[in-house]
Amino acid sequence: MKKLITVCALFLGLIMLAGCGDKYEALPINEDTDVCAICNMQVKDDAFATQLTTKDGKNVKFDDIGCMHKWKEQQGTENIGMDYVRDYNNKEWIEYDNATYVYDASFRTPMAYGIITFKDKKSAETFVSEQGVGKIMNAKELASHDWKQNTDKMQMMDEDGHMHKEDQKGMDMKSEMTSSHK
């Protein structure tokens, strides 16, 4: 029994040492095991993935920033240690508060929330000027966003949907291309 206790104590000591690293860190995405905590879809290792770490060290991943927002609605934000989003261009992890957000209903994201994130305002502006659409927001402005999922084409284009559909198509092929080249 004594031995058992010694072993346990030793082990706990080891974990303690291991645990004293950096407090919060964005973890890499493992496509084999990571699914979105909200919608259960596989989290792809792409620019739409987000994650947060709670204060007790639990890491939660999402496939779309909209799902992360939903999680925050359900669980509250008090217990969040750090939350991360990814830069659209180079998939670098950035802190939620420091990111720039671009929204348009025509942007295709995994759960159709239509929000794309950038590490700085400049790259966001470049993207918007390339696309011709998009509303730029910072984290504070994003808090008042309505988080509507663009699931229903009837909502956004009424009878005369053709113009809009063309935009969408251009966008979606483009995003496919960009993601395939990375």
Partner 1 sequence: MKKAEQTLIYRLLFIALLLICHQVLNMEEALASTSIGQVNSLQAIIDQLDAGDAIELPPGTYAGPATIDKMVSIRGNSEVTLLNPSGAPAISILSDGVHLANIQIKNNASGDQSPAILVKSHQVTLEDLTIQTSGYGIILRDADQAILQNNTITWFKPEANKPKQKGNGIDLYNSNGTLIKNNHITGVRDAIYLEKSRNARIQGNKLSRTRYGIHCMYIDGSSVIDNEGQYNITGAMVMGVKNVVVSGNVFRRQSQNVHSQGILLYDVQSSSINKNVVEGNRVGIYMEQSSENELSNNAVLRNFIGIQLINSNSNQFHGNEFIANVIEAEAADSQKNEMMRNYWDSFQGLDLNHDGTSEIPYAINPFYQLLVTQTPAYQLFFQSPGMTFLSDMFTNGQEDWSTDSSPLMNADISHTVSTESAKGSADVLAIGLLLLCTAIYTIIYLGVMRE
Partner 2 sequence: MNDMLQVARREIKTGFRNPWSYTFLILFCVFSLCLLVINSQSIVQGYSGVTGSMLSLILYLLPLMTLFLGSFSLTAEKEEGSWQLLSTYPIGTLSFIVGKYIGLSIVLLTIVAFGYGLMGVISGLVGMSFASSTYVLFIAFSCGLVLLFLTLALLIGSLSKNRWQALTVSVSIWFFAVIGWQTILISVLNFLPYTWIKPTLVALTFINPAELVRLFVVIKLGGGSILGPEYYQWVEWIQRSSGSWLFIAVCLLWISFSIMVVYWLWERGRSHG
* Contact residues: partner 2, CB under 8 A: 3-4, 7-8, 11-12, 15-16, 18-19, 32-34, 54, 56-58
| Strands (E) located in 67-125 | 80-86, 93-95, 100-103, 115-118
Nearer to partner 2, 8 or 156 (CB): 8
Nearer to partner 1, 23 or 58 (CB): 58
Nearer to partner 1, 39 or 94 (CB): 39
Residue 62 backbone phi and psi in degrees, to 5: -135, 155
CA 36 vs. chain centroid, Å, equals 10
User: Sign of the C-alpha dihedral, residues 56, 62, 68, 70?
Assistant: negative
C-alpha 67/C-alpha 70 separation (Å) is 5
By CB under 8 A, name the binding residues for partner 1: 31-33, 35, 39-42, 44-45, 112, 149, 151-153, 165, 168-169, 172-173, 176-177, 180
Q: Which entry of partner 1, partner 2, none binds 42, CB below 5 to 8 A by partner kind?
A: partner 1
